[in-house]
Amino acid sequence: MKKLYLDVHALETVPPSCVNRDDTGSPKSAIYGGKVRSRVSSQAWKKAIRENFKKIFREEDLGLRTKKIVEMVQKDISKLDASIDNEKAEKMAIKALENAGLKIKNVESGTDALMFMSRKQSEELARLIIVGEKDKKAFKKALKEHPSFDMALFGRMVASDAELNYDACCQVSHAISTHEVQTEYDYFTAVDDLDTNTAASSHIGMNEFNSSTLYRYATIDLTELYKSVGLEVPKVAEGFVKAFVQSMPTGKENSYANRVLPCLVYVTIRSDLPLNLVGAFENAVQSNAGYEEESIRRLEKQAKNMYGLLADQPVRSFVTCTHDINGILGENEPLSKLLSDVGVAVQQLLEDEVA
């Protein structure tokens, strides 16, 4: 099959917030183009995307990253055969996982590292141990097949057995601000509601925060995703774009109520290579009247300069923008239509390749 890539770009202005902080409590940052930028790590946003998947996909289509995999299989054993008591089900779960090649040292604490396992994999392991399967290859096959959508996208690494690894079909960049950012400080105090004898504060503290217009980017190798989820690719691609747009890391959310949506979403399907357009902001945007308008113009210019000179034109492109755009990125359409169009386009292109 010919390679196909789904690229998702977004510009998103986040108000005063600290959605992703370092070990000192400061908002994460990065130097790009010689200027300090606000940064939200890819790990933080991938977690937010996975949480958003729960609103989009069925529970059985998603996996769990946990050390409590014995508990997962144990519960499935009990569901499949209610006559098996909990103690026996636990022993059977351990045996099933060990047959699959995993090391279970302590049931209480679970595995040494987080294990990404789909619900279908857990159910199949439970079924095999209940029917008395003796072939360990069958257990390993069960743990290798039936990946969940999020496992196929974000991959799985099993240090004890590389055969159980899944290469990620999706890459997510660190979001960075299109402009220079300075950290600000929020000095706060708290009083004791039951201490009426003094006006002094019972607690004094300092929070760090910033606000910025972020450029976000992710890409999916649709060809590799097809190998894992088959004809479900259009649904997964459409759901991923929706989750990417609607997600937000939850750091300090109760203190800042910073839930916003992008001002621009730009999706392309490419056949040459994935293409991050962050170079549009290597020269930090400078403005006294907000950063969104100029950031959109920069992104349009970068796309125009890259296409045809260094990279191919996208096979298909879709754009949703709350500002006026000049058509370089495509025809502006509501997000609901963009999502539907992405799913249809992916299905058509894959059908052409499979045929």
- Read off the tokens for 341: 């169009």
Torsion, Cα 7 13 14 19, to 10 degrees, reads 20
Half-sphere exposure for 149 (CA within 13 Å, toward CB): 24
3-state secondary structure of 256: helix
pLDDT higher than threshold 80 for residue 135: yes
The token pair at 160 is 């004890």
Residue type present at position 75: K
Does residue 110 register a pLDDT over 70?
no
**Residue 107 in this model has a pLDDT that exceeds 80:** no
Residue-wise pLDDT tens digits, 182-229: 999 999 888 888 887 777 788 898 999 999 999 999 999 999 999 999
Q: How far apart are CA 319 and CA 17, in angstroms?
A: 27
Please say whether the beta carbons of 238 and 337 come within 8 A: no
pLDDT tens-digit series, residues 36-63: 999 999 999 999 999 999 999 999 999 9
pLDDT at residue 268 greater than cutoff 90: yes
pLDDT tens per residue across span 17-34: 999 999 988 999 999 999
Give the whole-angstrom CA distance, residue 347 versus residue 355.
12
Q: Is the pLDDT of residue 109 over 70?
A: no
- Residue with more model confidence, 111 or 122: 122
Distance CA 261, CA 291 (A): 15
Contact 297, 304 (CB under 8 A): no
Q: What is the pTM of this model?
A: 0.92
Place of tokens 């995703």: 225
Among the listed ranges 115-119, 149-153, 257-261, which one has the minimum average pLDDT value?
115-119
Neighbouring residues of 249: CB distance < 8 A, sequence distance ≥ 6:
19, 20, 40, 44, 45, 47, 48
Rounded mean pLDDT of the chain?
Answer: 93
Question: With bands split at pLDDT 50, 70 and 90, how would you rate the model's confidence at 75?
Answer: very high
Q: What is the mean pLDDT of residues 281-297?
A: 95
What pLDDT is stored for residue 183 in this prediction? 93
Residue 81 has a CB neighbour count (10 Å cut-off) of: 15
Q: Please tell me the predicted confidence (pLDDT) of residue 291.
A: 97
